[in-house]
Amino acid sequence: MILLQLFLVFFKIGLLTFGGGYAMLPMIQSETERYHWLTPEELIDFIAISESTPGPFAVNISTFVGMETAGFPGAACGTLGVTIPSFLVILFVARHYDQFRKSRIVNGCMAGLKPAVIGMLAASLFSLVQTVLVPETGFTWNSPIFYISVLILFIMGILSFRKMHPIIIIFLSAFMGIGMGYLTEIL
Amino acid sequence: MKNKSAQLFLTFLRIGAFTFGGGYAMIPLIQAEVCDKQQWLTEKEILEIITIAESTPGPLAINAATFTGYRTAGLRGAFAATSGVLLPSFLIIILIYFVMEQFMECKLVQYAFLGIRIGILALILKALYSMFSVCEKNIFSYCIIGLSCFLMMFVRIKAIWLIVGCAAVGLIYTMLLCNKEEKK
């Protein structure tokens, strides 16, 4: 039963996310939270792992979630689920490329979808910022961790807008995290 | 044909194993392997892949692999290329899954992830900005961005309905726009 569920949920994610990569994040976040497959923290940790391992984010996360909920068969079902929709759609489009490109229906839908994905990703980012910067347990405005975190976010933001490679950003923020961790032990 | 499928599988296995982060990072590699080295596709077809991937569901890597495979060697080619591009990340993640639990118990790793989580936020922010800068700048787009963000955050509407709804609204909007232009 869980295998079927994994397949169907990832099928849905594969079918209804446009743009790939982070554009898929809102859908993955809402579905994995709904079924209690991942907490927001686990999701962010997993994005980091996915950025530092080869392959597309959607495949990485479907494999991982499948593995965690139902072992190897789960990983296979999740990955198949997320792959099959694009596989079938592309087979169709590869045959009818010109009609597809000129199709008013496709272009019309995309006019609504592109901005929708941006708005959804903004909402996802907002909730993830809350999770990371304002932990549910014992947040106070004068906690040094909060200010250090904001500082790290600021630095990493500048670096990533300067087109620094994601893996370097992950490494740098890992070092800063280690520094922050030991600092709070002293304080 | 059989030989070509095997070649497709191996080529996309290599592409899958060496592109980090997926998505657009993959395009230059696909171009080098598929277009310059093997000459399966022309430069123009590579551009088609990008156009298609943007307006079809699913990850770009899968879209690109299926498309290249199909154009080169039909259904069998599509299957070979897609399974090739999937396999490396599938296997690596399974490996990581087994290592991660012990790994996460280490205090140093836990601290590192405190920082990494923040770094990821910066990466998502950057992705958001890039998506925004290529999106069409008009009142309609801004309204959809604002509305979908609001509905997702405060009304907690399901992502699926938002996607379907916004596609429908986009369709109606462009149809109305076209009618108006035709009347003029």
In this model, does residue B182 exceed pLDDT 80?
no
- The per-residue pLDDT for A142 is 66
Query: Closest Cα to residue B89, out of A24, A52, A106?
Result: A52
The SS3 assignment for A134 reads: coil
- In the DSSP assignment, the letter for residue B39 is -
Evaluate whether A55 touches B16 at the Cβ level (below 8 Å): yes
Instruction: Search chain A and give the residue with CA nearest B56.
Output: A18
Asked if A160 and B125 come within 8 Å (Cβ–Cβ), the reply is yes
pLDDT tier at A165 (50, 70, 90 boundaries)?
confident
> pLDDT band for position A39 (50/70/90)?
confident
Distance separating alpha carbons of residues A30 and A45, to the nearest angstrom? 16
Please report, rounded to a whole number, the percentage of residues in chain B having pLDDT higher than 90: 21
Flag whether pLDDT at A4 surpasses 90. yes
**Extents of the domains making up chain A:** 2-133, 136-187
pLDDT for position A5: 93
pLDDT tens column, B140-156: 889 989 999 998 888 87
Per-residue pLDDT of A42-51, as tens digits, reads 888 888 888 8
> What percent of chain A has a predicted confidence (pLDDT) above 90?
19
Nearest-Cα distance to chain B for A112, in Å, is 4
Q: Do A170 and B120 touch (CB under 8 A)?
A: yes
Taking the domains of chain B in order of start, what are their residue ranges? 2-98, 136-184
pTM of the full structure: 0.84
Question: For the segment B60-109, what is each residue's pLDDT rounded down to a tens digit?
Answer: 888 889 998 998 888 999 999 999 999 998 999 999 888 887 887 788 88
Cβ contacts from A onto B, under 8 A: 371
Residue B38 binned pLDDT confidence (cut-offs 50, 70, 90) = confident
CB A55 to CB B119 under 8 A?
no
User: Are B175 and A58 within 8 A, CB to CB?
Assistant: no
Report d(CA A35, CA A28) in Å as an integer: 11
Which member of A48, A90, A156 has the closest CB to residue B63? A90
Alpha-carbon Rg for chain B, nearest whole angstrom, is: 21
How many alpha carbons fall within 13 Å on the CB side of residue B101?
7
Token output for B44: 């123009």
CA distances from A157 to A111, A163, B32, B45 (A): 29, 10, 31, 35
Q: What are phi and psi of B59, to 5 degrees?
A: -70, 145
Q: What is the mean pLDDT of residues A57-66?
A: 90
A20, A55, A112 ranked by CB distance to B58: nearest? A20
- Report the 10 Å Cβ neighbour count for A133: 16
Please answer yes or no on whether A132 and B117 come within 8 Å at the CB atom.
yes
**What pLDDT sits at residue A138?**
58
Which H helix or E strand runs over A139? none
| Residue B29 or residue B79, greater confidence | B79
Nearest Cα neighbor of B121 from A12, A86, A169, A102 is A169
Please tell me the predicted confidence (pLDDT) of residue B22. 61
Q: Where are the extended beta strands (E) located within chain B?
A: none
A102, B178 Cβ separation under 8 angstroms = no
Task: List the single best residue of B47, B83, B89 to mutate versus A (max A Cβ within 10 A).
Answer: B89
| Contacting residues of B for A149, CB less than 8 Å apart | 118
Contact flag A110-B163 (C-beta cutoff 8 Å):
no
Instruction: Write down the mean pLDDT value for chain B.
Output: 85
Q: CB B101: neighbour CB atoms within 10 A? A: 9
- Please report residues of A whose CB lies closer than 8 A to that of B118: 132-133, 149, 152-153, 156, 173, 176-177
* Mean residue pLDDT across chain A: 85
By 3-state DSSP, what share of chain B in percent is helix, strand and coil, each rounded to 5? Answer: 90, 0, 10
pLDDT of residue A55: 80
Q: Over the stretch A114-162, which tens digit does the pLDDT of each residue have? A: 888 889 889 888 888 888 887 666 566 667 778 888 888 899 889 888 8
The pLDDT value recorded for residue B29 is: 81
CA atoms within 13 A on the CB side of A162: 9
Residue A74 distance to chain B (closest CA, Å): 11
- Which residue is associated with the tokens 């839908």? A109
What pLDDT does residue A83 have? 93
At B106 the three-state DSSP class reads coil
Q: What is the pLDDT of residue A76?
A: 95
Selecting from B53, B59, B175 the residue whose C-beta is nearest the C-beta of A108 gives B175
